């Protein structure tokens, strides 16, 4: 972990908590930490347990995963269109671009409706 800058005046992490886990629990925690793009298990546990990033009550986790997948697919499609446009200087198909934009709008509307 990097050192704090000399002029940093914020709160520092000085308190420790020890948790005993089974090997399978640790493996699950490490997998979830990696999926959440956290640097360490401590960072992951701090994020999940203290910083309040809890799932909103009443929101189906399966629905969230489905929307995530929909956004990922739409983003990938848009990225391919942008890559082709940047590489060749022309748009393959306006219909393809409009479809990507529509997919993103639908996915964002689903997120907003939660």
Q: For 69-108, what is the HEC assignment? A: HHHHHHHHHHHHHHHHHHHHCCCCCHHHHHHHHHHHHHHH
The model's pTM is 0.46
> What pLDDT does 24 receive?
93
CB 55 within 8 Å of CB 61: yes
Beta carbons within 8 Å of 104's beta carbon, 6+ residues apart: 71, 74, 75, 78
pLDDT in tens, 46-102: 877 776 555 556 677 788 888 888 888 888 988 988 898 899 988 888 888 888 889
């Amino acid at each position: 972990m990097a050192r704090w800058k000399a002029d940093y005046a914020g709160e520092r992490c000085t308190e420790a908590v020890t948790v005993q886990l089974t090997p399978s629990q640790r493996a699950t925690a490490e997998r979830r930490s990696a999926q959440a793009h956290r640097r360490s298990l401590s960072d992951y546990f701090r994020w999940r347990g203290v910083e309040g990033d809890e799932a909103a009550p009443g929101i189906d986790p399966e629905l969230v995963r489905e929307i995530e997948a929909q956004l990922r697919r739409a983003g990938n499609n848009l990225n391919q269109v942008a890559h082709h446009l940047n590489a060749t200087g022309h748009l393959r198909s306006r219909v393809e671009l409009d479809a990507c934009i529509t997919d993103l709008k639908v996915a964002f509307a689903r997120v907003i409706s939660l």
